[in-house]
């Protein structure tokens, strides 16, 4: 009778070990989740960096930045703040995309007349995801060409 218990305990141990060493799918999810958190953090830092310190509404705009990011990622403001705390505590470094950075994509921020040429508008349009993410509404007819009204 004792042998049966050894088997039962043995099998349970095997399952526990499997559960400990095979959560690769979960780990992958965690990694995706962490990358998303980092993206949210970078977006927020970027947005806050764009607020001029001399701006008389500096504090208000800093506060509003949390709401903008929360709305964009469809999460709560508290979640954004929690991510920021995590980012600061773990000192996440900003990605080095300063060279490739073209324009902001987190909200409808530009109109065609904000660009000095169609090519410039096109560049920003494609940088933000093209037809699939025309966040600035630069390509109203969805033909993949932004701001064709800018004939220059
Ligand atoms: Ca626009
Ligand atoms: Ca178009």
CB within 5 A of ion ligand 1: which residues?
108, 111, 136-137
Rounded to whole angstroms, the Cα distance separating 9 from 15 reads 10
Give, rounded to a whole angstrom, the gap between the first and last alpha carbons of the chain. Answer: 88
Rounded to whole angstroms, the Cα distance separating 140 from 144 reads 9
Distance 33 CA to ligand 2 centre (A): 34
> Which numbered ligand comes closest to the C-alpha of 108?
1
Rounded to whole angstroms, the Cα distance separating 90 from 151 reads 48
pTM: 0.49
Distance 122 CA to ligand 2 centre (A): 10
> Which numbered ligand comes closest to the C-alpha of 140?
2
pLDDT digits (tens, 9 = 90+) for 35-91: 899 999 998 998 898 888 888 999 999 999 999 999 999 999 999 999 999 999 999
What does the block give as tokens for 51? 């607020």
């Amino acid at each position: 009778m004792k042998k049966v218990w050894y088997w039962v305990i043995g099998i349970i141990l095997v399952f526990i070990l499997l559960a400990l060493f095979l959560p690769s799918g979960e780990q992958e999810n965690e990694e995706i989740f962490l990358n998303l958190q980092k993206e949210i953090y970078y977006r927020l830092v970027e947005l806050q960096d764009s607020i001029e310190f001399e701006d008389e509404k500096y504090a208000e705009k800093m506060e509003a930045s949390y709401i903008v990011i929360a709305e964009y990622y469809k999460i709560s403001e508290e979640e954004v703040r929690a991510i920021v705390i995590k980012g600061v505590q773990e000192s996440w470094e900003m990605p080095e995309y300063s060279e490739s950075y073209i324009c902001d994509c987190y909200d409808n921020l530009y109109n065609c007349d904000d660009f000095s040429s169609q090519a410039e508008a096109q560049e920003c349009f494609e940088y933000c995801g093209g037809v699939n993410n025309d966040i600035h509404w630069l390509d109203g007819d969805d033909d993949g060409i932004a701001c064709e009204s800018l004939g220059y």
